Amino acid sequence: MRIEGIVVGCIETNCWLVDDGQGGPLLVIDPGSEPKLVLEAIGGREVSSIVLTHGHFDHAGAVGDVISATGAPFAIHVDDAKNVVSSLTNGGEEFAMPVSTPAPDILLHEGDHVRAGSLDFVVIHVPGHTPGGIALYADGHLFSGDTLFSGSVGRTDLPGGDGAAIKTSIARLAALPPETQVHPGHGPQTTISRELRVNPFFPRA
């Protein structure tokens, strides 16, 4: 697996470009802003799909431009699909950053698979930060969106947030193999083993 991270926008969202390292197409995760920068990183390569880990504006701002340039389908969990398309419901209006997206082409559910070349990611539904938050897991790598950060978890005080739900979601992620590499929606990368040691939100035995 080959992973490239790009930090975009004033909220410093991690956009991830992932491929199988064997010439397969890219998976674009959370193209939150700065479409020119994202498209330069894509560099004309085939894109298998554009996946959002959740429907907030700071993860969705370049979706339309990437679709226009690549023709790739856009996927998001079914529970965030209605909110992401409008700045009134994706948080953009509240932060004076109007963002909208086209309607998603693919509605994801727990246990679905997202493929890019030989890569096969399983969709883990992790509500709490938003109702339709997801993480993508394959081959010892987890793209955790805004559910899990290095040393912390996603906030639950925005519309649709649920503190009890995120505790359950974090417990699910904590059960992944300790060597799992975590690529979050913001901030530095980490591992499950590190989070088990230092993250105060992780369950304790």
pTM (two decimals): 0.96
Give the mean pLDDT of 68-90: 95
Residue 1 makes CB contacts below 8 A (sequence gap 6+) with 18, 19, 20, 21, 119, 138, 139, 141
Is 157 part of any domain? yes
Q: How many domains does the chain have?
A: 1
Per-residue pLDDT reduced to its tens digit, 147-181: 999 999 999 999 999 999 999 999 999 999 999 99
Q: CATH number of the domain that 165 lies in?
A: 3.60.15.10
Is 169 part of any domain? yes
Angstrom CA distances, 153 to 134, 156, 185, stand at 13, 9, 10
- Does the pLDDT of residue 205 top 80, yes or no? no
% of the chain beyond a pLDDT of 90: 90
Tokens standing for 13?
């969202």
Is 102 part of any domain? yes
- Does the pLDDT of residue 93 top 90, yes or no? no
Is 204 part of any domain? no
What is the SS3 assignment for 115? strand
Is 34 part of any domain? yes
Is 205 part of any domain? no
The domain in which residue 30 lies consists of: 2-198
